[in-house]
Structure 1
Amino acid sequence: MPEDDAFTDADFDPPPHLRGPEDPVAYDQWFRAQVEAALASDKPRIPHEEVVRMMRAIIDSKQNKT
């Protein structure tokens, strides 16, 4: 295979917005805090089936516009 056709390691790096956190410990702490806050929230909970119905309606409305 010619040199200019070879893949480099950079070809397989994900884009910056898809990369993992720089500091996994800090990310774990942040994530756990988010989960704890969500569990402690007094906001009304939405059943999974209802969320799926709402998302399906949004997706269908977008597909029908094209």
Structure 2
Amino acid sequence: MMRLKVKLVKSPIGYPKDQKAALKALGLRRLGREQVFEDRPEIRGQIEKVRHLLRVEVVE
């Protein structure tokens, strides 16, 4: 199964609470933090909500 490496590259300061909550659910609390997730619809939805703050790579 594909995996996604997600990195927080922009600060969520000044963005709505629901976007901050999506970052918290993804485990991204600081700039530069990375997480690796299985490619699932739930994760894709959270990433889509805050895609302007993230860098996403596909990891085989």
Task: Give me the TM-score of the superposition, normalised by structure 2.
Answer: 0.25
Structure of larger gyration radius: 1
Where relative contact order (Cα < 8 A, 6+ residues apart) is larger, the structure is: 2
Task: Report which of the two has the higher share of helix.
Answer: 1
Task: Report which of the two has the higher share of strand.
Answer: 2
